[in-house]
Structure 1
Amino acid sequence: MAGGVELRLLTELYERLQKLSCPSLEGVYVTEPQSILELLCTPSAHRLDILEWICTRTYPPLQDQFSVLKESQAELKVKEMAKLGFDLMLCNPDDVDLIKGNVSPSRQLAFMTQLLDIIETCDNVSSSSELQLMTPSADKNFVTYARENEELLKELFSSPHLQATLAPECNPWPADLKTLLVPEELQKRTLPCSKDNVISEHIQELQRISLSLEDLKHECTFLCSPVAGEDTVIQKLRLALTDFHQLIAAFTQVYENELQEHCRYTAPQMNTSGPLFKSVHQLLTTFCKELEGIAQFIETSSTIEGVVKKRQQEKECWGGGSMATLYEKIEELKQNYELLQTSLQD
């Protein structure tokens, strides 16, 4: 049984499939979320047809492979769709249970949603006149771009120009590097008399860098070791995103300044506000709201527990003139009731 959030996302997924004119939904009229759940997340031939259409829209050459397969070779279609999901880094290469619908609805929903995000992203790229001028064909799909980028990276890493950049040969060495290459004994004889001044300047520069790093460390609180018992999921995610952003920025700078002149391809276009990033942002926002709700619930529970303990431990006047706690008063009433019951029996 799916939860309220999953049913809402299923309804959105069904509406997106209708908007994309999925042929497997022609003549299908369902409105209840539970019926949509049975249609999209329950193993059936109809569900497999819908997923097959989504995969062929994501990667059109897959349609040519499926067209030559017979109905008895449905298992080969399942394996090809799992391979496509693996190429897009959405599942494992042997994850046939996900394709057949034998896993949890939430995982199936996430897989289909990501495929539809790719389809809509490719449609947006194809409809953009600016990108049509930059790319040789507007009909290329997401997988084609991914494989072209893979070939580009292979060419870059196998290029002798890249190897020369990584292991440069400077002969003769520049003047500022000669002092680092000669033995230490020779350095002592060849260094100028102003060595102390140079060293003091370097020491001052290192001190300034150390102070800057210390300030940066105070700002990046998520890099510090977490407090015992504190949830570190958000800190780890921030660190991973920071490292990923730095790698992308470094690669872009090296590509534009060093590698682009040796490559016939244009620079890869990076979209910082795609549907996948929006989906991650939405999930993180929901997660933070749920954490706030849990914190408020814990605080309220602690307050109620304190009030109850205070009520049980404080002595009050119960009409008889004597001061007693709630527990003592209940015990007194219990004893009176037992005495009264005994006297009635006698």
Structure 2
Amino acid sequence: MAGVLIEKQLARHVYSSLEAASCPLVEGLYLQEADSMLQLLCAPSQHRTDILAWICSSISPSFTSSKPMSVRSKEPDVLTKDMAVLGQELLLCRASDVDLIRGDASPRRQLQFLEQLLAFVPGCVKSAGHTADGELLLKEFFGAENLPHLTQTLSPAFDPWPTHIKALWKNTKSSYKPNREENGDIVALLQATQSALEQLQSKCVFLNSEAQSPPAFSPSSLRVAASDLQQLMATFSHVYETDLRVYCSRDPPSFSSETEVFQRVQQLLLACNTELEMLKEVSEASESVSEEVKQLQTQPHYWSRGEKHTLPDQLEKVIGRIGGFLSQLSS
């Protein structure tokens, strides 16, 4: 946090130094916030490069005459290296500190470099010093310890007017006497205004507090509600007599107290479900067995004389061998 505050103070000081040196590249900007000054002085941009080139040309007039600016604008690395060489001659940086010239270094380092460069610009340090002194004076004037004195100055407890002004004011107040005609005109104007306001209030119903209160329950609305209720009751009586009375007059159904039948039905249903599950498992097992048999008959799994053969082929060969063996025994 302290580093950020120091960077903002350095940015303000460098910007005020550029204004004091009458740098044409900051004229008309009117920057007030420290973040905008940091963006201008520390972020890589063509405007920042032009400001550095102006500072270098103000320090060394031969900087602009050493190489044409058109060549430098076409080759920005040449301009960057020339400014780094000038900084080395001034013992402010090394010739290899190209990142400091481009704006890739830390903001604090860039601001310190700019501050040291501006110290070589003629007429810059003195004016910037006056500006810094003014800022210090304002900070001290508006400090927390001086706020009570400032408040007392703005709203003094004693009347600071001179004696002759006080006497003139007292004489003016004592010599002024209201006229009866003026009082009569004022009273008539007030009465006319009050009557206009009363007429306006009578025309605007929503301004009346009595109109905003809910209306009382009138006999006519009660009569309408009673007639609606009578019609509903008559309709219900008609529906009850024609449709609902037959069902309402029936005796309630009698339930048997013997529950063994339901228990037996439940047990039979459970047994049926068990048998169905067993049949399902048997069918699944038969399908798996048939699949295995099919694989044994179709897929070669048995080796004979360096080759795989299926089970039926192997059985045929074994049967043929046994038949040949039996024929040899019989002969």
Q: What is the TM-score with the length of structure 1 in the denominator?
A: 0.34
TM-score, normalised with respect to structure 2: 0.35
* Structure index of larger Rg: 2
